Structure 1
Amino acid sequence: MLFHTHSSDETILLGEKIGALLKPGDILAMSGTLAAGKTTITKGIAKALGITDNITSPTFCLVSEYNGGRLPLYHMDVYRLDGAEDFANLGVDDMLYGNGVCVIEWSEKVKTEIPKRAISVEIKPTEDGGREIKIENWNNGKIDLNGEVK
């Protein structure tokens, strides 16, 4: 699926529609350049899960855990890791194979450690200031950006 958003609000809205369809154990492997919108879309996912905490990039803490919604959210930023071995050493197996939702920013750095069932989310800024968001390996339902989640 390919989506185009034209503002942060639209990107958050797409995140909400994605989040409404997420199930326990889902993993979103996000990739994109610096400031592409990975954390922005995660804000919408968290909102749809019923999480009211302020969502920020976990660049320095590596993993932020949010509870209080219909599912726990594990928000990971692996930008500062040297590779897959560092990721494995974080001890994230309980999160990757648990009953929450994992969002992994900069997932391309640790691709070999991410389960094959992960949903791929590639975000690219566009020349008009928007974002192109490509979602692959999605089996949770259909998302209509202009309408309702189906």
Structure 2
Amino acid sequence: QTQEFGTRLGKIARPGDVILLVGKLGAGKTCLTQGIAWGLGIKEYAASPSFVLVRELYGRLPLYHLDFYRLENLAEIAELGLDEYFYGQGVSVVEWAEKALSLLPPENLLIEMEYIADNERRLQIKAKGKRYREMVAQLK
């Protein structure tokens, strides 16, 4: 269901969309990102970019898959120069976004993920900005 939701999200995504994923290890962030990739028509697996920080995948729109798990402080993240991703022609999905909320675009779709059981997750979605409220309305 997490991937199915992600696929629906990917199908309605537009250039410049920013999706922030927050949750503990095992909450399903990469699983959701895989669904978004499928919704964008991307065939390859959206493996977590923990060791490279950013992976670019290409489909109907580029997917910029960012992962802040290994970053220690805001200065490290600020030095990455991520604006080209957030304000570019692709869709940015940021795992472990809670590590840098103050550096990320103020308008975004924030998805808080919680592990409940092996086949159960709880998602809390916060739409910040008109575009993201429209996205949530389309998903209902």
Settle same-fold status: TM greater than 0.5. yes
Aligned to 1:136: 126
Q: Which runs of 5+ in 2 are unaligned?
A: none
Q: Percent identity?
A: 40
Q: Which runs of 4+ in 1 moved over 2 A?
A: none
The DSSP-based 3-state class of the residue aligned with 1:142 is helix
- TM-score computed with the length of structure 2 as normaliser: 0.91
Relative contact order higher in (CA < 8 Å, ≥ 6 apart): 1
Match of 2:37 among 29, 34, 46: 46
Partners of 1:120 and 1:129 lie apart in 2 by 22
Partner residue, 1:87? 77
Question: How far apart are the structure 2 equivalents of 1:25 and 1:103?
Answer: 11
Q: Deviation per CA, 1:86-114, whole angstroms, max 9, x where unpaired? A: 11211211001111100000000011111
CA distance in 1, matches of 2:118, 2:22: 20
Report the secondary structure of 2:138's partner residue: coil
Q: Find the partner of 1:18 among 9, 12, 22.
A: 9
* Uncovered stretches (5+) of structure 1, i.e. residues with no partner: 1-9, 145-150
Residue equivalent to 1:147: none
**Correspondence 1:54-73 to 2 at 5 A:** 54-67=45-58, 69-73=59-63
> Match for residue 102 of structure 1?
92
Distance verdict in 2 for CA 1:108–1:124, change over 3 Å? same
Number of paired residues?
134
RMSD between aligned residues: 1.2
Using structure 1 for the length normalisation, give the TM-score.
Answer: 0.85
CA distance in 1, matches of 2:119, 2:44: 27
Summarize the Cα distance change of 1:33–1:98 in structure 2 as closer, same or farther, 3 Å threshold: same
Displacement, 1:129? 3.9
CA contact (8 A) 1:66 1:72 kept: yes
